[in-house]
Amino acid sequence: MRAKTVLSIIGINQDNADLRSAIELCRAAGAHLSVLVTALAIAPVGGYGEVSSSAWAEEREREVQSLSQQVATAKTLLQSSNISFDVDSLLTEYGWVDNEIGERARYADLTLVGGGLLAQNDMRWRVLDGALFHSSAPILITPRGRVATLQPRVVLVAWDSRNEASQAVRAAMEQLTAAENVHVVIVDPRASTRGNGEEPGADIAAFLARHGVNVSVDILSGGGRTVAEVLRQHAVDISAELIVMGAYGHSRMRERIFGGTTRSMLEAAPVPLMMTR
């Protein structure tokens, strides 16, 4: 994936670590950085169909001011960065976050979500839902203390022979071909034509090798652990700088329920995580 437009989503109650990481990634990639400062609008105290209280109006005004201040802070930092950028703000209701984020992410090659936003429990899942399931662009999750990069030396690919994993591999092909080592990891594979193939991992390894990827296949046993636990530990063991995997979920009315492994990895990825649905 060659990123020429990167969308970075930040909240109003976080420091500049996520934004600085996005700046460095865009500088290295020669990409335009589009920053979206996002805040959840506080609902009226008495409900949406009733007259708003003065206390609610004052709180909403404080929220608008915080949003404006964060936008100004972001612009100041970006103006000294010597990269191409734009900054926009979004004050939205909880129920519309996913749609709003999805609409912005459709015009980016990659959506960045950093540890500062992930720490905001009131909005992180709606933002991730919008970025993953309302847009076809991949997302890059960067935990606190880690540096976002599109030039990883060691990559872990979580493989389960499903379409979502295949889409993730294709989205990350530029990163995979440039990496020094790519580990295709399969946890407790089922060797069958309808499972992971007669020789699990052989097909995806051959596919990647034809693209010039330096690939190896790691077959791992769960040993009573979840798939996410196995992947996280192996990423640490091989000193991976990026995990590539497909995102899974299913719709329940307007809420997107993330699959267990997807949610667990999003909650506690030890290194940057690139996901595509």
pLDDT 10s digits, 53-68:
777 677 778 888 989 9
- Interatomic CA distance for residues 134 and 103, integer angstroms: 7
> ∠ CA(107), CA(111), CA(113), 5° rounding?
150
Q: Domains of the chain by range and CATH?
A: 5-142 (3.40.50.620), 154-276 (3.40.50.620)
- Interatomic CA distance for residues 102 and 196, integer angstroms: 32
pLDDT 10s digits, 129-179:
999 989 999 999 999 889 889 999 999 999 999 999 999 999 999 999 999
**pTM of the predicted structure, to 2 decimals:** 0.89
Sole residue written with tokens 């919008």: 130
Average pLDDT, the chain: 89
Residue 129, helix vs strand vs coil: helix
